[in-house]
């Protein structure tokens, strides 16, 4: 078994991810006393903005050691404005813990990140949290896991008593009963009385054991045989089968507890070590070949000594430094090593290497294959960019880029004077490098500078950092939904370019078709892409440019298929491909007849029963379509869709409609005619 784990903590906002991370740090001795999100002292919520708001904004990495296994934990934000943080973390994780709030069930954003993670086939275990609160029903939760997450829940424990200051759980495989008292305290429950389960507990244990046996034997013939022969296997004998079931995505093992008081956290740590894979199980990675641009899958052999790493995030650090987070996939990263930043091929020299501990760093000499760490630089030194691959000059592949979601909301911003304006642009430019879902543009109509992002909170935070950390004085306009154009029908177009000097001729034929509810554009080739990388890049740049860049006339939600490609005469320059592609797209767009469109959002609103009427009425005034509602205890969950333009300021409105008790999440659904 490997001695490394790279684990993400995923869930809806407020499920308890950060609290749970903090308790794992306390359990493993990284911190003496667990910090608290409510007091702004959690290790991984180290940004000032996080401490003030009590929420996680950036994903943070931290290392700890449990049962001789080095675990790197990546705590992620649950808020939809920051989905890019989840997406990029998923690229470097080998497994994840999904935190479910027991009393609240499977929440909307949990569902979203779950599906994000399972698209990448990430093995996961579940932690059922907040069992100090009333209103938890294990059967209902399991049914929701089946329905909403589409996976079989597999309890490794049976909760017998919960709520009311006491938690009593039977741990199935160890045949122990675990009891915690005073679980409702703000921290530190009285822990861990262990004994044998009583008769009732034993009955429940047997039932749960049957399900575990069923699952494990499906993936382990040897175990199946032993059991057929009547043997009573030890706990350890179940682990290989369960591990394979988890890796195959066939079940979600569940452990239970109260993150805030640390109850149940040791069993979760056991599950991480016993059931989640280490980096050596990472399958082939999606990469593209530098020479041809062709996508492929690349595996890394454990004895491969070539250094290959992926940079998944950059951020400003204390003391004006900047940090690039990297995961090593092969070989080692060492101090002073010279590598290339791919695909651009800029040369790069590694400076200080650190292990990241939330907001602080510990220097290390190197990072090995499978490890996640940081590359620390002064802000005037070149830093690798998010999505880049670090490798030697003879390496021919680059990791697939991180897809940044398209910003849907924008605010005009202007410095108080020209000095502020210049500083503002410089700071925001760097911020867009760190967070590719932010974008800085200028409005072609008015010439104003626009900062665009994923939601009001997202932009608000960028402004706050600008003001407080950089002392820039500026004014902003009201947030606005970004208008775009969509096409309603498919169309074709051909574009030609003939080189003035060489006479080289490039002809590009394309088909353009709408993608229902698409947010961006997709490019496909019916035949072979251009033979040279520069040609291909120029061609694709031309296609994208043809859709209009960044303005309200930009076309979104389309698929472009390159159907014909003719190169005749001399060797064309790359720009010939760009020009021909640009013309082809313009012709197709004219043929398809584009119309103005506005972003729509999918909305999930959870409100106490007595406020449902007012909230639904308000939604109707916002042009929302109600998709359905269901009751969950004394709460109603309303699923709806509405234009983003009508949802500006919705957080405040919902608060006043529900006396502060309603919560909602939203995410972009696509564009519809305005």
Binding residues vs ligand GDP (CB under 6 A): 11, 13-19, 37-38, 55-56, 78, 129-130, 132-133, 258-260
Smallest separation (angstroms) from ligand GDP to the CB of 88: 18
* For ligand GDP, the closer CB: 17 or 406: 17
Q: What is the DSSP letter of 619?
A: H
* For Mg ion, the closer CB: 27 or 143: 27
Mention every residue, 6+ apart, whose C-beta is less than 8 A from residue 231: none
Mention every residue, 6+ apart, whose C-beta is less than 8 A from residue 328: 307, 308, 309, 367, 368, 369, 370, 371, 372, 373
Smallest separation (angstroms) from ligand GDP to the CB of 601: 21
* For ligand GDP, the closer CB: 182 or 214: 182
Helix (H, G, I), strand (E, B) or coil at 176: strand
* CA 319/CA 360 separation, integer angstroms: 11
- Segment near Mg ion (CB under 5 A), from 1-9, 11-19, 294-302, 593-601? 11-19
Residue 107 in the binding site for Mg ion (CB under 5 A): no
Helix (H, G, I), strand (E, B) or coil at 304: coil
Are residues 84 and 405 in contact, defined by beta-carbon separation less than 8 angstroms?
yes
- Segment near Mg ion (CB under 5 A), from 52-60, 179-187, 271-279, 553-561? 52-60
Single residue of 6, 18, 72, 101 touching Mg ion by CB under 5 A:
18
Smallest separation (angstroms) from Mg ion to the CB of 55: 6
Residue 341 in the binding site for Mg ion (CB under 5 A): no
Are residues 8 and 76 in contact, defined by beta-carbon separation less than 8 angstroms?
yes
Smallest separation (angstroms) from Mg ion to the CB of 79: 9
| Gyration radius from the chain CA atoms | 27
Smallest separation (angstroms) from Mg ion to the CB of 125: 18
Are residues 354 and 315 in contact, defined by beta-carbon separation less than 8 angstroms?
no
Smallest separation (angstroms) from ligand GDP to the CB of 131: 7
* For ligand GDP, the closer CB: 16 or 241: 16
Residue 91 in the binding site for Mg ion (CB under 5 A): no
Residue 59 in the binding site for Mg ion (CB under 5 A): no
Q: Are strands 285-289 and 251-256 parallel, antiparallel or unpaired?
A: unpaired
Long-range CB contacts (within 8 A, 24+) of 34-43 = 34/187, 34/188, 34/262, 36/186, 36/187, 36/260, 38/186, 42/18, 43/357, 43/358, 43/359
15 binds, among Mg ion, ligand GDP, none (CB under 5 to 8 A by kind): ligand GDP
Smallest separation (angstroms) from ligand GDP to the CB of 221: 39
* For Mg ion, the closer CB: 56 or 439: 56
User: Which sign does the torsion angle of CA 338, 339, 344, 345 carry?
Assistant: positive
Smallest separation (angstroms) from ligand GDP to the CB of 102: 9
Residue 89 in the binding site for Mg ion (CB under 5 A): no
176 binds, among ligand GDP, Mg ion, none (CB under 5 to 8 A by kind): none
419 binds, among ligand GDP, Mg ion, none (CB under 5 to 8 A by kind): none
* CA 279/CA 219 separation, integer angstroms: 21
User: What is the chain's percent helix, strand, coil content, to nearest 5?
Assistant: 30, 35, 35
Residue 17 in the binding site for Mg ion (CB under 5 A): yes
**Which parts of this chain interact with Mg ion (CB under 5 A)?**
17-18, 56
């Amino acid at each position: 078994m490997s001695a490394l784990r790279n684990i993400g903590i995923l869930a809806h906002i407020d499920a308890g991810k950060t609290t749970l991370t903090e308790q794992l740090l306390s359990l493993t001795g990284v911190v003496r006393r667990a910090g608290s999100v409510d007091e702004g002292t959690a290790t991984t919520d180290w940004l000032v903005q996080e401490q003030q708001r009590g929420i996680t904004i950036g994903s943070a990495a931290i290392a700890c050691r449990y049962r001789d296994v080095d675990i790197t934990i990546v705590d992620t934000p649950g808020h939809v404005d920051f989905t890019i943080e989840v997406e990029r973390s998923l690229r470097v994780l080998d497994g994840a813990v999904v935190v479910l709030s027991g009393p609240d069930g499977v929440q909307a954003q949990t569902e979203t990140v779950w599906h994000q993670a399972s698209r990448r086939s990430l093995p996961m275990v579940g932690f059922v949290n907040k069992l100090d609160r009333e209103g938890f029903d294990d059967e209902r939760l399991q049914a929701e896991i089946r329905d909403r997450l589409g996976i079989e829940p597999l309890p490794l424990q049976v909760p017998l008593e919960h709520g009311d200051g006491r938690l009593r759980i039977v741990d199935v495989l160890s045949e122990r009963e675990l009891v915690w008292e005073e679980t409702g305290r703000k921290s530190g429950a009285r822990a861990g009385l262990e004994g044998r389960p009583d008769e009732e507990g034993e009955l429940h244990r047997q039932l749960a054991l049957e399900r575990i046996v069923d699952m494990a034997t499906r993936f382990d013939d040897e175990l199946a045989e032993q059991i057929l022969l009547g043997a009573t296997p030890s706990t350890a004998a179940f682990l290989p089968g369960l591990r394979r079931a988890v890796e195959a995505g066939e079940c979600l093992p569940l452990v239970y507890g109260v993150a805030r008081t640390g109850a149940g956290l040791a069993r979760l740590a056991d599950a991480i070590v016993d059931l989640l894979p280490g980096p050596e199980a990472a399958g082939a990675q999606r990469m593209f070949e530098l020479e041809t641009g062709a996508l492929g899958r690349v595996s890394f052999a454990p004895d491969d000594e070539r250094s290959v790493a992926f940079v998944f995030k950059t951020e400003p650090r204390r003391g004006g430094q900047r940090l690039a987070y990297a995961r090593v996939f092969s070989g080692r990263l060492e101090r002073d090593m010279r590598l290339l930043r791919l695909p651009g091929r800029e040369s790069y020299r590694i400076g200080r290497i650190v292990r990241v501990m939330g907001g602080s760093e510990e220097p290390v000499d190197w990072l090995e294959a499978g490890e996640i760490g940081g590359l620390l630089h002064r802000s005037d030194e070149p830093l690798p960019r998010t999505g880049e691959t670090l490798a030697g000059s003879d390496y021919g592949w680059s990791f697939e880029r991180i897809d940044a979601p398209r910003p849907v909301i924008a605010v005009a911003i202007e410095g108080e004077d020209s000095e502020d304006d210049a500083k503002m642009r410089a700071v925001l430019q760097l911020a867009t490098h760190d967070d590719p879902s932010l974008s800085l543009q200028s409005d072609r109509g008015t010439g104003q500078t626009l900062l665009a992002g994923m939601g009001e909170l997202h932009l608000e935070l960028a402004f706050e950092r600008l003001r407080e950390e950089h002392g820039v004085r500026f004014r902003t306009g009201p947030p606005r939904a970004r208008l775009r154009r969509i096409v309603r029908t498919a169309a074709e177009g051909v574009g030609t370019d003939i080189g003035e000097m060489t006479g080289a001729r490039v002809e590009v034929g394309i088909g353009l078709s709408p993608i229902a509810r698409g947010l961006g554009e997709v490019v496909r080739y019916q035949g072979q892409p251009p033979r040279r990388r520069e040609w291909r890049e120029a061609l694709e740049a031309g296609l994208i440019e043809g859709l209009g860049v960044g303005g309200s006339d930009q076309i979104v939600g389309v698929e472009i298929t390159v159907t014909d490609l003719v190169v005749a005469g001399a060797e064309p320059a790359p720009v010939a491909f760009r020009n021909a592609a640009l013309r082809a797209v313009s012709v197709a767009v004219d043929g398809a007849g584009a119309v103005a469109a506005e972003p729509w959002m999918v909305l999930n609103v959870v409100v106490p029963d007595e406020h449902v009427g007012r909230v639904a009425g308000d939604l109707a005034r916002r042009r929302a379509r109600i998709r359905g509602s269901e009751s969950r205890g004394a709460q109603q969950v309303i699923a709806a869709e509405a234009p983003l333009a009508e949802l500006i300021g919705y957080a405040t409105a919902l608060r006043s409609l529900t006396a502060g008790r309603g919560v909602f999440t939203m995410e972009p659904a696509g564009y519809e005619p305005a």
